[in-house]
């Protein structure tokens, strides 16, 4: 394995931001021992199509900003899926009352 700079593993895996010891931005572990506590690895692989593994040699942390963006994307995705289901339910209900709805 090559010689990596000492701070290599402190770089955010997603945006490459680096904070030293005096930084206010928190670094969050991608892989947490408590499965219920951290879904970062799942969200990275699902939403960004980036494969992350505890066995790879790349940094295993993300910055608070990237973690927040992943959470926002997850919330947005959940909202869009719920909206889609509600629209389909509305169409099904409307069809049951008066027959198929014509598109204007």
Give the residue among 53, 57, 65 at the shortest CA–CA distance from 14.
65
19 labeled part of a ligand binding site: no
Give the residue among 69, 19, 1, 33 at the shortest CA–CA distance from 9.
19
φ, ψ (nearest 5 deg) of residue 89: -65, -40
104 labeled part of a ligand binding site: no
Binding-site entries: 12, 15, 63, 66
Task: Please give the annotated binding residues for Zn(2+), written as ranges.
Answer: 12, 15, 63, 66
């Amino acid at each position: 394995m090559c010689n990596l700079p000492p701070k290599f593993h402190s770089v955010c895996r997603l945006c490459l931001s680096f904070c030293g010891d005096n930084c206010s931005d928190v670094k969050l572990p991608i892989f947490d021992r408590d499965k219920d506590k951290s879904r970062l690895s799942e969200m990275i692989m699902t939403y960004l199509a980036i494969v992350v593994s505890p066995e790879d040699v790349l940094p295993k942390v993300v910055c608070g900003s990237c973690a927040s963006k992943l959470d926002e994307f997850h919330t947005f995705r959940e909202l869009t899926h719920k909206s889609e289901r509600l629209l389909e339910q509305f169409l099904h209900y409307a069809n049951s009352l008066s027959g198929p709805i014509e598109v204007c």
